[in-house]
C-alpha cells in the first residue's frame, strides 16, 4: 500500500494502490508508518513522497465514502504530520495529484512536478470539499481567487499552469523522482518554517469583501441547486477570515454536511456509473471483454446540416482525417462555410490554437459531392435528414462503395437500425450513433446495435466515443432508443398538463427548479417543434394521412394531444420562427417570454374540447412528468434494451440536462423509494386510464413486491441480466 525505501539520506515513500493510487485506509496507514519510520531514523535527513506507476494519487478512495468503515477524518492529521516534520518532505508529482492526493502534496514542504502532470481538487464534482485541510492550505499558497476557482470548479490544471500559480516549485521534463531526490538533498538543513503553509498568511486582496460577495453570486449561479460549490466557497472564506486551526474546524463541519447529503451519494454514483457503462454487453453475449475495436484511420460524414457540422467538428478535434460529403455543390458550400466557422471558434478556445487542429489541410479534411471518395474510409457517419427512404438509399450505396469491413453508422434519434441495415449487404457493420446537438459540445453518444451488428462494430463505436471525448452508452434497438423513448411520456405529460389548466412557464419552472437546464417547453422551442411534427406525420398521427373522423384527442383508443400539431400549423416552430410555446424577440431569438396569444389559444382550446380548467400544483407537475419518464425506464430495463439502470442515468445526465446531483432518473427513483413512485403512478393512472405512460410497468411492480431492493440489485430480478455497479 506504500513502499518505504532509501536513496542515501533520503527516505522514499511510494504510494501503491493501482491503478491510480487512491488513498484507502491501508494506504494512509502505510504512509503514516513510513513518515514515523523516517522521523525515527537519524540517518534519514529528508523524505520524498511519490506514487507507483508514475501516478502520484487520484485522491481519497471514493468508494470509501459510502463504506460503513469510512474514516474521512484520517487524512487531515496525516497531512499535518507531513507538514510538521522536522525533516524536509518533497512531493514528486507525476500523472495526477487530485483531491486528497494534492492535499498530501500541500502538506509537503516542496513540490516538484512532471511537465505532463495534472493537479486539482475535484471533490466538488463528487459532492464534497477538500476535507483534508486543502481549503485552508491552497489559498495560502496561490491566493484566494485562484484557490477559489480551483476548489469550486474542481478543474484539473496542467503542471505548466501550476508552476505559474506557484502551486509547484519546479517542473521537469525528464525523471521527476531523480529531480525530487536531488531537491530533497539540496534543502537538507534549510529552515522549514517558511515552507509550512499553515503558518503562512493569506495574500490580502485590496477589497476582500467585495471580491467574496461577487464570487458567491457567481458560484451560486453556476451551481444550479448543487450544494457542494457553495459549501466549498464557505470553507475557503473561512480561510480568509479565520486563523488556520479555526478554518480547519469549519472545513470539517462543512465536509460532514456534504458527506451526509444525498447529493454526494448521487454524484459519486454518477462517477462510477459513467465508468460502469464502458463495460458494455448485449443480451446475445457480446461484451467489451471479448470484442476488439477496429482502427479508424480515416472517416467520412454524410450530410452537413446542423448535426453533420457538429460531427465533422468533433472528428477534426479528435485528429481523425475526414471526408465530408453533401448531395450537391450548393449544400456543400453552405456546409463547408459553417464547419469552418465552427472549427475556427474551437481552435480559438483550444490552448495551442488553429495550427493544432490542421483543418485547412485537404489531406485531413476534404469536402466533396463525390460518393466514390468514400472507398477507402474505415468508418462513415451518415447524418442526413430523419427519413427512412433516404437513409436506406444511402446505406445501399455505401455497402457497394465502401471497403469490406468499413463501419457504417447512422445518426438517427429514433429510426429502426435493422431496417436501415436491411438496405446493405453487410448488416453486421451497421450501427446507430445518436449524437446530441450541438454534436461537438454534448458529451453523450448513444450507440445502438441492431439484430446483426457485430461485437467488433460495437467496440469500434465505443472506441470512437472515447476518441471524441464522449461518453458512449450501448443500447438496443427500439423506437426512440433509450433517451428519446423515455422523453416521449415526459413531454406528453407536460402537454397534457397544459390541456388540463397549466401554462408552459409553470411547468418549465417546476422542472427547472428541480435542476433541469431547460424545462420541456423551453427545450422543445430550442430543438424546434417541427421535428416532432414531421415524425408524427410520418407515423400517421397527424396530417393528411390521418383517417377522416379520427377524434381530435384520441389515437388508437389512447389520449392524444393535438396542441403541438396546432402550433406547427400556425407556423410556430419555436426559437427559429420567433414563436412556439413562448414568444421570442425575433426569429432565432433566445429570450423566451410568456405569450398572451398562447394563453388565450389554450383557453379557447379547452373551451372547444369542453375541458374543465383546474389548478395543478407543483407536486403533480413534477410527479407526472418525472414518474412517467422513470416508468418507461423500467420498461426499457425489462425488455433488455439497456443492461442496467446506470446506462439510463448516464444518458440522462449527459444528453438531456438531468441534474447530476440527483444521480439520473433511475437513481432518483431509488431515493424517492419505489413504493412511492408506484403508488403515485397508480393514482394518476386511475385518473387517466387512457394514458399508457402512467400505467406502472410490471418490472417496477415486481421490485416493489420484492421489498424495494437497492438499485445495484435491480437487474438480478430479471433473468439473464446483471448490473455492473
Ligand X SMILES: CCCCCCCCCCCCC/C=C/C(=O)SCCNC(=O)CCNC(=O)[C@H](O)C(C)(C)COP(=O)(O)OP(=O)(O)OC[C@H]1O[C@@H](n2cnc3c(N)ncnc32)[C@H](O)[C@@H]1OP(=O)(O)O
- Residues that are catalytic: 103, 123
For position 15 contacting ligand X by CB under 6 A, the verdict is: no
Nearer to ligand X, 19 or 283 (CB): 19
Q: Could you write out the DSSP letters of every residue in 581-621? A: SSB-SSTT----B--HHHHHHHHHHHHHTTPPP----HHHH
Place of cell 394521412: 545
For position 462 contacting ligand X by CB under 6 A, the verdict is: no
Give the residue, chosen from 2, 30, 62, 653, that forms a contact with ligand X under the rule CB under 6 A: 62
Which residues 302-331 are close enough to bind ligand X by CB under 6 A? none
Q: How far is the CB of 657 from ligand X (least distance, A)?
A: 22
Give the residue, chosen from 63, 164, 375, 590, that forms a contact with ligand X under the rule CB under 6 A: 63
For position 272 contacting ligand X by CB under 6 A, the verdict is: yes
Nearer to ligand X, 125 or 631 (CB): 125
Nearer to ligand X, 128 or 167 (CB): 128
**Residues 228, 661: Cα–Cα separation, whole Å:** 9
Closest among 81, 145, 82, 74 to 108, alpha carbons compared: 82
Closest among 233, 280, 232 to 258, alpha carbons compared: 232
Give the residue, chosen from 59, 476, 574, 663, that forms a contact with ligand X under the rule CB under 6 A: 59
For position 52 contacting ligand X by CB under 6 A, the verdict is: no
Q: Is the CB of residue 49 less than 8 Å from the CB of residue 90?
A: yes
Q: Retrieve residue 345's grid coordinates.
A: 471558434
Q: Could you write out the DSSP letters of every residue in 65-101? A: GGSTT--GGGHHHHHHHHHH-SS-EEEEE-SEEETHH
For position 23 contacting ligand X by CB under 6 A, the verdict is: yes
Q: Is the CB of residue 252 less than 8 Å from the CB of residue 246?
A: no
For position 64 contacting ligand X by CB under 6 A, the verdict is: yes
Q: How far is the CB of 649 from ligand X (least distance, A)?
A: 15
Neighbours of 269 (CB within 10 A): 27
Nearer to ligand X, 36 or 275 (CB): 275
For position 517 contacting ligand X by CB under 6 A, the verdict is: no
Place of cell 460577495: 213
Neighbours of 165 (CB within 10 A): 17
Q: How far is the CB of 62 from ligand X (least distance, A)?
A: 4
For position 387 contacting ligand X by CB under 6 A, the verdict is: no
Q: Are strands 118-120 and 157-158 parallel, antiparallel or unpaired?
A: antiparallel
Give the residue, chosen from 2, 49, 60, 144, that forms a contact with ligand X under the rule CB under 6 A: 60
For position 74 contacting ligand X by CB under 6 A, the verdict is: yes
Name the burial class of residue 531, with classes exposed (0-12), middle (13-18) and buried (19+) by CB atoms within 10 angstroms of its CB.
Answer: middle
Q: Which residues pair with 472 in a beta bridge?
A: 445
**Residues 479, 468: Cα–Cα separation, whole Å:** 26
For position 24 contacting ligand X by CB under 6 A, the verdict is: yes
For position 19 contacting ligand X by CB under 6 A, the verdict is: yes
For position 16 contacting ligand X by CB under 6 A, the verdict is: no
Which residues 114-173 are close enough to bind ligand X by CB under 6 A? 122-123, 126, 128, 130-132
Could you give the angle at the alpha carbon of 333 between the alpha carbons of 328 and 339, nearest 5°? 120
Q: Retrieve residue 718's grid coordinates.
A: 430479471
Phi first, then psi: what are they for 574, rounded to 5°?
105, -150
**Residues 81, 260: Cα–Cα separation, whole Å:** 27
For position 383 contacting ligand X by CB under 6 A, the verdict is: no
For position 67 contacting ligand X by CB under 6 A, the verdict is: yes
**Residues 319, 646: Cα–Cα separation, whole Å:** 30
Closest among 331, 325, 419, 338 to 372, alpha carbons compared: 325
Q: How far is the CB of 36 from ligand X (least distance, A)?
A: 18
Nearer to ligand X, 59 or 562 (CB): 59
Give the residue, chosen from 1, 9, 25, 467, that forms a contact with ligand X under the rule CB under 6 A: 25
By CB under 6 A, which span of 95-103, 286-294, 357-365, 395-403 interacts with ligand X? 95-103
For position 469 contacting ligand X by CB under 6 A, the verdict is: no
Q: How far is the CB of 332 from ligand X (least distance, A)?
A: 37
By CB under 6 A, which span of 96-104, 604-612, 674-682, 696-704 interacts with ligand X? 96-104
Q: How far is the CB of 407 from ligand X (least distance, A)?
A: 24
Q: Retrieve residue 141's grid coordinates.
A: 499558497
Q: How far is the CB of 614 from ligand X (least distance, A)?
A: 47
Q: Retrieve residue 96's grid coordinates.
A: 495526477
Binding site for ligand X (CB under 6 A): 19-20, 22-25, 28, 58-64, 67, 69-72, 74-75, 96, 98-100, 122-123, 126, 128, 130-132, 272, 275
Amino acid at each position: 500500500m506504500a513502499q518505504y525505501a532509501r536513496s542515501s539520506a533520503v527516505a522514499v515513500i511510494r504510494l501503491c494502490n493501482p491503478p491510480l493510487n487512491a488513498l484507502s485506509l491501508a494506504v494512509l496507514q502505510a504512509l503514516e508508518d513510513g513518515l514515523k519510520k523516517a522521523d525515527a531514523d537519524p540517518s534519514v535527513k529528508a523524505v520524498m513522497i511519490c506514487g507507483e506507476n508514475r501516478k502520484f494519487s487520484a485522491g481519497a478512495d471514493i468508494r470509501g465514502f459510502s463504506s460503513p468503515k469510512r474514516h474521512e477524518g484520517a487524512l487531515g492529521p496525516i497531512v499535518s504530520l507531513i507538514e510538521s516534520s522536522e525533516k524536509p518532505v518533497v512531493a514528486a508529482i507525476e500523472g495526477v495529484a487530485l483531491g486528497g492526493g494534492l492535499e498530501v502534496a500541500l502538506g509537503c514542504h516542496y513540490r516538484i512536478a512532471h511537465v505532463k502532470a495534472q493537479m486539482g481538487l475535484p471533490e466538488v464534482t463528487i459532492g464534497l470539499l477538500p476535507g483534508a485541510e486543502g481549503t485552508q492550505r491552497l489559498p495560502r499558497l496561490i491566493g484566494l481567487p485562484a484557490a477559489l476557482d480551483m476548489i469550486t470548479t474542481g478543474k484539473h490544471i496542467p503542471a505548466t499552469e501550476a508552476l505559474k500559480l506557484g502551486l509547484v516549485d519546479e517542473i521537469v521534463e525528464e525523471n521527476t523522482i531523480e529531480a525530487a531526490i536531488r531537491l530533497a538533498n539540496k534543502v537538507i538543513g534549510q529552515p522549514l518554517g517558511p515552507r509550512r503553509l499553515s503558518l503562512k498568511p493569506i495574500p490580502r486582496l485590496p477589497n476582500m469583501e467585495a471580491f467574496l460577495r461577487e464570487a458567491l453570486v457567481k458560484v451560486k449561479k453556476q451551481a444550479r441547486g448543487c450544494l457542494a460549490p457553495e459549501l466549498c466557497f464557505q470553507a475557503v472564506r473561512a480561510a480568509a477570515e479565520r486563523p488556520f486551526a479555526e478554518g480547519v474546524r469549519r472545513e470539517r463541519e462543512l465536509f460532514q454536511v456534504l458527506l451526509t447529503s444525498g447529493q454526494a451519494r448521487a454524484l459519486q454514483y454518477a462517477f462510477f456509473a459513467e465508468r460502469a457503462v464502458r463495460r458494455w454487453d448485449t443480451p446475445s453475449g457480446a461484451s467489451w471483454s471479448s470484442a476488439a475495436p477496429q482502427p479508424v484511420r480515416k472517416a467520412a460524414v454524410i450530410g452537413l446540416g446542423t448535426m453533420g457540422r457538429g460531427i465533422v467538428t468533433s472528428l477534426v478535434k479528435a485528429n481523425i482525417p475526414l471526408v465530408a460529403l453533401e448531395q450537391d455543390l450548393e449544400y456543400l458550400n453552405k456546409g463547408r462555410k459553417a464547419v469552418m466557422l465552427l472549427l475556427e471558434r474551437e481552435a480559438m478556445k483550444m490552448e495551442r490554437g488553429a495550427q493544432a487542429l490542421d483543418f485547412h489541410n485537404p489531406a485531413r479534411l476534404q469536402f466533396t459531392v463525390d460518393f466514390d471518395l468514400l472507398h477507402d474510409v474505415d468508418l462513415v457517419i451518415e447524418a442526413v435528414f430523419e427519413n427512412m427512404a433516404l437513409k436506406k438509399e444511402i446505406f445501399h450505396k455505401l455497402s457497394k462503395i465502401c471497403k469490406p469491413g468499413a463501419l457504417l453508422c447512422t445518426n438517427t434519434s429514433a429510426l429502426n437500425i435493422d431496417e436501415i441495415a436491411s438496405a446493405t449487404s453487410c448488416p453486421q457493420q451497421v450501427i446507430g450513433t445518436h449524437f446530441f446537438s450541438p454534436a461537438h459540445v454534448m458529451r453523450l453518444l448513444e450507440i445502438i446495435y441492431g439484430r446483426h451488428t457485430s461485437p467488433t462494430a460495437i467496440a469500434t463505436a465505443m472506441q470512437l466515443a472515447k476518441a471524441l471525448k464522449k461518453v458512449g452508452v450501448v443500447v438496443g434497438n427500439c423506437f426512440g432508443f433509450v433517451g428519446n423513448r423515455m422523453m416521449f411520456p415526459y413531454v406528453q405529460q407536460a402537454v397534457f398538463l397544459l390541456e388540463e389548466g397549466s401554462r408552459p412557464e409553470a411547468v418549465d419552472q417546476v422542472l427547472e427548479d428541480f435542476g433541469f437546464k431547460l424545462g420541456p417547453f423551453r427545450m422543445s422551442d430550442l430543438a424546434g417543434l417541427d421535428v416532432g411534427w414531421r415524425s408524427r406525420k410520418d407515423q400517421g398521427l397527424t396530417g393528411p394521412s390521418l383517417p377522416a373522423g379520427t377524434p381530435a384527442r384520441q389515437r388508437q383508443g389512447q389520449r392524444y394531444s393535438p396542441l403541438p400539431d396546432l402550433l406547427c400549423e400556425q407556423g410556430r416552430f419555436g426559437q427559429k420562427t420567433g414563436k412556439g410555446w413562448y414568444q421570442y424577440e425575433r426569429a432565432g431569438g433566445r429570450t423566451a417570454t410568456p405569450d398572451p396569444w398562447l394563453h388565450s389559444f389554450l383557453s379557447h382550446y379547452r373551451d372547444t374540447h369542453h375541458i374543465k380548467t383546474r389548478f395543478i400544483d407543483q407536486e403533480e407537475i413534477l410527479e407526472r412528468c418525472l414518474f412517467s419518464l422513470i416508468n418507461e425506464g423500467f420498461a426499457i430495463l425489462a425488455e433488455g434494451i439497456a443492461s442496467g439502470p446506470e446506462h439510463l442515468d448516464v444518458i440522462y445526465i449527459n444528453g438531456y440536462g438531468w441534474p447530476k446531483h440527483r444521480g439520473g432518473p433511475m437513481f432518483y427513483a431509488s431515493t424517492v423509494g419505489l413504493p412511492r413512485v408506484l403508488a403515485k403512478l397508480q393514482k394518476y393512472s386511475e385518473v387517466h386510464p387512457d394514458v399508457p405512460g402512467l400505467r406502472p410497468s410490471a418490472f417496477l411492480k415486481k421490485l416493489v413486491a420484492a421489498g424495494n431492493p437497492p438499485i445495484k440489485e435491480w437487474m438480478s430480478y430479471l433473468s439473464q441480466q446483471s448490473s455492473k455497479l
